[in-house]
Amino acid sequence: MRLTPLAAAAATLALAAACAPADESSSSDDAASVSLDQCKPADLDLYKAGTLTIATDSPAYEPWFADDDPANGKGYEGAVARAVAEKLGFAPEKVTWVTQGFNEAIKPGAKSFDFDINQFSITSEREKVVDFSSPYYKAKQGVITLKDSKYADVTSLAGLKDAKVGAQVGTTSLEATQQLGLTTDPLVYDDTTKAAQALQNGQVDAIIADVPSAFYLVAAELDGAKLVGQFEPRTGESEEFGLLLDKDSPLTPCVSAAVDALQDDGTLEKLQQQWLSDAVDVPELSQS
């Protein structure tokens, strides 16, 4: 469905009017915020009327999703997407899932979904091209090596400076490799699976990935590998995942309001413990 400029302007105006002075009860002081009461299915300007269209990449893997089925409400992102949909008044059967590649989602042009949930880190550069909701997750970076690697027992980031390090293109993990003070440039892979293959082959000594992905790699894709530790990414913006929407989408305020509500009522924390609990026990690597 294409919006005519007039309709888009009207929708924006309507939203602006809706959230102007009357909106006193909202917990957030963000100027663009609206209260959830104004976000009923009938009020929303959806990609397909009557159904909330949510996108993610295929395969949908753990711990973000379960059984490669984003619609089952399992896995952290699966559960968050379902919770957001419910906050907006969409029962699970009123939600349509579509497949959208990570890179295609961030290209300019009309989007074929209402929002995309695919571990998109929020950065100010990216916000020039797309909209993000409030963050639903803050991720740390994990360091993976083989168990018999000489880097398997490092306790600080400085201990990794002579290692050959791999990371996935376009991720905060790749940015975070700058914090290691590496003596050789990192190797860059299309996805973490290829980085994992390179680790297994001895082509790299360590790979950096956000902690939940790192857990999945160690558990499912690698033999004899371990998660050495985790660290807070310092370069760029702090690592936060947000739902991705089309630039200036009229839905953004409502989707953010739903995420904020889930944050306030403790749902996000509860879902993180349920689906991402392992992340709590990983040793912290010193950064000095």
Partner 1 sequence: MVLGLLWLGIVSSPGWDRVRQTYFDADDFRAAWGPVTSAFWLNVRLFLVAEVFILVIALVVAVVRVVPTPAMAPLRLLATIYTDVFRGTPTLLVVLLVGFGVPALRLAGAPTSLFWLGVIALSLSYGAYVAEVVRAGILSVHPTQWASGRALGLTYGQTLRHVVLPQALRRQVPPLINDFVSLQKDTALLSVIGLVEALRQANIIGQRDFISTPLVVAAVVFIAATIVIARFADWLTLRSMRRQAGVV
Q: Which stretch binds partner 1 (CB under 8 A): 86-94, 121-129, 253-261, 269-277?
A: 121-129
50 or 202, CB closer to partner 1?
202
CB of residue 126 vs partner 1: minimum separation in angstroms? 4
Burial profile 5-24: b = 16 or more Cβ within 10 angstroms, e = fewer: eeeeeebeeebeebbeeeee
Q: State which of positions 170-189 bind partner 1 (CB under 8 A).
A: 170, 174-175, 185, 187-189
Distance of CA 22 to the CA centre of its chain: 33
Q: Is the CB of residue 177 less than 8 Å from the CB of residue 208?
A: yes
- Residues 175, 135 contacting (CB under 8 angstroms): no
130 binds partner 1 (CB under 8 A): yes
Q: How far is CA 189 from CA 137, 145, 173, 192, in A?
A: 24, 16, 11, 7
Does position 123 interact with partner 1 (CB under 8 A)? The reply is: yes
Q: Judged by CB under 8 A, does residue 194 bind partner 1?
A: yes
Question: How many whole angstroms separate alpha carbon 157 and alpha carbon 143?
Answer: 9
C-alpha distances out from residue 198 to 146, 201, 220, 269, 272, Å: 11, 5, 15, 34, 30
Binds partner 1 by CB under 8 A, chosen from 67, 68, 153, 190: 190
The distance of closest approach from Cβ of residue 212 to partner 1 in the complex, given in angstroms and rounded to an integer, is: 20
- What residues from 247 to 276 belong to the interface with partner 1 (CB under 8 A)? 247
Binder among 33, 156, 197, 238 for partner 1 (CB under 8 A): 197
- Residue 103 touching partner 1 (CB under 8 A): yes
| Angle ∠(133,139,143) on CA atoms, nearest 5 | 150
Q: Alpha carbon 100 to chain centroid distance?
A: 14
219 binds partner 1 (CB under 8 A): no
Q: Under the criterion CB under 8 A, does residue 65 sit at the interface with partner 1? A: no
CB 121 within 8 A of CB 172: yes
- Contact between 126 and partner 1 per CB under 8 A: yes
Residue 286's φ and ψ, nearest 5 degrees, are -75, 145
- Least distance from C-beta 197 to partner 1, angstroms? 5
* Site track for partner 1 across 71-100, x = CB under 8 A: ------------------------------
Residue 109 vs 266, nearer CB to partner 1:
109
Beta-carbon-side half-sphere exposure of residue 259 (alpha carbons within 13 Å): 22
Does residue 132 belong to the site contacting partner 1 (CB under 8 A)?
A: no
202 lies in the site for partner 1, by CB under 8 A: yes
Closest to 190 in 3D by CA, of 102, 116, 61, 129: 102
Residues that bind partner 1 (CB under 8 A): 5, 103, 106-110, 123, 125-126, 128-130, 166, 169-170, 174-175, 185, 187-190, 194-195, 197-198, 200-204, 247
